[in-house]
């Protein structure tokens, strides 16, 4: 009797494994069918990257708190870069 239960349990596991594999394959198939839709949603990646690079600003690291901030907001003091006048007055850590 226990042998029969073992074979039934094994059959159930095999069926579950095959089903999950089929589901994965179906998902992959769907993803392969839809790349055109994704391209329509996203703008051209090269153009977006070029725009981002053009808009990018150099980032500096504050000598006191370590925060990165735009170079246009830099408060230089003693040859170091600070994110604010308050941190420029405090000693670097
Ligand atoms: Zn700071």
Q: How far is the CA of 72 from the centre of ligand 1 (A)?
A: 14
Confidence category of residue 36, pLDDT binned at 50, 70, 90: low
Contact 62, 69 (CB under 8 A): yes
Q: How far is the CA of 65 from the centre of ligand 1 (A)?
A: 4
For the chain, give the mean pLDDT.
84
Residue that the structure tokens 């925060």 belong to:
67
Calculate mean pLDDT across residues 10-34.
Answer: 81
The confidence score (pLDDT) of residue 55 equals 81
Residue 81: pLDDT over 60:
yes
Q: How far is the CA of 9 from the centre of ligand 1 (A)?
A: 63
Q: Which residues contact 69 (CB under 8 A, 6 or more apart)?
A: 59, 60, 62, 83
Q: Rounded to whole angstroms, how far apart are CA atoms 75 and 49?
A: 30
The confidence score (pLDDT) of residue 73 equals 95
User: What are the backbone angles phi and psi of residue 27, rounded to the nearest 5°?
Assistant: -60, -45
Q: How far is the CA of 58 from the centre of ligand 1 (A)?
A: 16
Confidence category of residue 85, pLDDT binned at 50, 70, 90: very high
């Amino acid at each position: 009797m226990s042998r029969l239960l073992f074979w039934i349990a094994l059959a159930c596991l095999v069926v579950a494994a095959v089903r999950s594999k089929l589901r994965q394959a179906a998902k992959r198939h769907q993803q392969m069918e839809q790349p055109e839709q994704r391209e329509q949603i996203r703008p051209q990646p090269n153009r977006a990257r070029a725009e981002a690079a053009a808009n990018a600003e150099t980032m500096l690291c504050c000598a006191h708190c370590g925060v990165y901030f735009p170079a246009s907001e830099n408060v230089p003091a003693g040859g170091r870069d600070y994110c604010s006048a308050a941190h420029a007055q405090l000693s670097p850590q």
